[in-house]
Amino acid sequence: MAEQPALASPESISEKRQVPLDELALFFLRLGTTAFGGPAAHIAIMEDELVRRRKWLSREKFLDLLGASNLIPGPSSSELAIHIGYLCGGWRGLLIAGICFIVPAALMVAGIGWLYVRFGKLTATAGILYGIKPVVIGVILQALWSLGRTAVKTTFLGFVALLSLVLSVFGLHPLLLLLVAGAVACAPALRTSRVSFSVLPVLTIGGGILTTTASFSLLSLLLVFLKLGATVFGSGYVLLAFLRADLVTHRGWLTDAQLVDAVAVGQVTPGPVFTTATFIGFILGGIRGAVISTVGIFLPAFLLVAVSGPLVPRIRKSKPAGAFLDGVNVASLALMAAVTWELGRASLVDTLTVLVAVASSIGLLRFRVNSAWLVLVGAAIGLITSVVHLR
């Protein structure tokens, strides 16, 4: 899509649509309150709602923002929400989208943390998850189909996507995989263009804040989560490894059992999985600890998107840099596909869950049913099934 030459601001790209801030806030509040299933599901729901239904941005621009989000450390779906907020509402939109997406989940997790500290165990949620997980699989498959048709523009990019999927299966680090895919995709363009890539390293900067003391304090808690938010690439599952190494093994602030419970809370609540930090903060420091840990792990995402967001249109204007971003986009979808396979193995455990996943996929692809309604239906099926089994 051609740029409007009269608009000089980096954020003023031709496909930008100014969205009322109240609409932006309401959408991301609803997403943060109802979006179960982790980053892949959040990305799928944003694509369904904002690209297909509301047309706030094109599928091409959505893919560019997804690629940029994957190239910086922190929670990818939260950073995608922040990017979209910046595109649709400028700096105020950036803050509104991110805060509205994160805060509802953080409040829920803090409430569960209070119950956990008081009663020492979590309320059973197996029935709800049983019904929701197969719906999430359907939502992700729909997004992969829609985004894949746009991202895989050529046979060569199809090869890059397949290569990325194979590398992901063999366990290549997500960041390295994205960089390899981008390098392979831009190699042909480099033959015909002399363009500096000085803009690209900005997207991969992740500063680290070192903390060496093992004694607990609110300041050390803040520094730990600032470090994690600024250095951890990938999903909540990657965060789990970092949390165990830092908080269980190195510092001894948590037990393995407490960490497993914290990750479970992040999985069973809607919104960003990184709100696991809120639960840990509440266990360690009460309500102040919950606030500090939440701010610490999400603040780097806002700062990194604020730096990288204006650069995305400039990257797309450059042929080699645009090809690099195309490679990152298809690699991002390959990572989603690999995650979906693992989620499917854990979620589709019997005939009913397979039927729910298939019905959800058909409802989304053929009849364009709103994914939020499907999640509610899945939760109801899970509750009914659990009640029947108890009898």
The number of C-alpha atoms within 13 Å of 52 and in the hemisphere containing its C-beta is 21
The structure tokens listed for 256 are: 């393995």
- pLDDT beyond 80 at 226: yes
The structure tokens listed for 170 are: 């063999």
The CB density around residue 387, as the number of other CB atoms within 10 Å, is 10
- The sign of the torsion formed by the CA atoms of 282, 40, 60, 357 equals negative
Residue that the structure tokens 């419970």 belong to: 261
pLDDT band at 166 (very low <50, low <70, confident <90, very high): very high
**Rounded Cα–Cα distance for residues 269 and 277 (Å):** 13
CB-CB contact of 101 with 32 (8 Å): yes
**Rounded Cα–Cα distance for residues 80 and 64 (Å):** 10
- Domain extents in the chain: 15-194+208-391
Q: How many residues does the chain have?
A: 391
- pLDDT beyond 70 at 211: no
Q: What pLDDT score does 328 carry?
A: 83
CA distances from 77 to 53, 174, 268, 309 (A): 19, 15, 16, 15
What integer best gives the mean pLDDT of the chain? 81
Greater confidence (254 vs 235) lies with 254
The H or E element containing residue 8 is none
- pLDDT beyond 50 at 155: yes
Q: What pLDDT score does 236 carry?
A: 56
Q: What pLDDT score does 81 carry?
A: 96
**Max avg pLDDT among 21-25, 345-349, 370-374:** 21-25
The structure tokens listed for 270 are: 């809607």
Q: What pLDDT score does 208 carry?
A: 40
**Rounded Cα–Cα distance for residues 49 and 208 (Å):** 35
Of the listed ranges 127-131, 180-184, 228-232, 328-332, the one predicted with least confidence: 127-131
pLDDT band at 205 (very low <50, low <70, confident <90, very high): very low
Percent of the chain residues topping a pLDDT of 90: 35
Q: What pLDDT score does 183 carry?
A: 92
Backbone angles phi, psi at 3, to 5 degrees: -85, 150
- pLDDT beyond 80 at 193: no
- pLDDT beyond 60 at 366: yes
Of the listed ranges 12-16, 103-107, 263-267, the one predicted with least confidence: 12-16
Of the listed ranges 127-131, 274-278, 291-295, the one predicted with least confidence: 127-131
The structure tokens listed for 362 are: 């058909």
Greater confidence (354 vs 6) lies with 354
End-to-end CA distance of the chain: 59
- Look up the pTM and report it: 0.70
Per-residue pLDDT averaged across 336-365, rounded?
Answer: 87
- pLDDT beyond 90 at 72: no
Greater confidence (229 vs 211) lies with 229
Per-residue pLDDT averaged across 61-87, rounded?
Answer: 90
pLDDT band at 184 (very low <50, low <70, confident <90, very high): very high
Q: To the nearest 5 percent, what fractions of the chain are helix, strand and coil? A: 75, 0, 25
The CB density around residue 15, as the number of other CB atoms within 10 Å, is 15
pLDDT band at 201 (very low <50, low <70, confident <90, very high): very low
Q: What pLDDT score does 346 carry?
A: 79
pLDDT band at 194 (very low <50, low <70, confident <90, very high): low
Per-residue pLDDT averaged across 316-326, rounded?
Answer: 83
**Rounded Cα–Cα distance for residues 50 and 247 (Å):** 38
Greater confidence (231 vs 331) lies with 331
Q: What is the DSSP letter of 29?
A: H
**Rounded Cα–Cα distance for residues 68 and 134 (Å):** 28
CA distances from 32 to 28, 79, 250, 273 (A): 6, 13, 32, 11
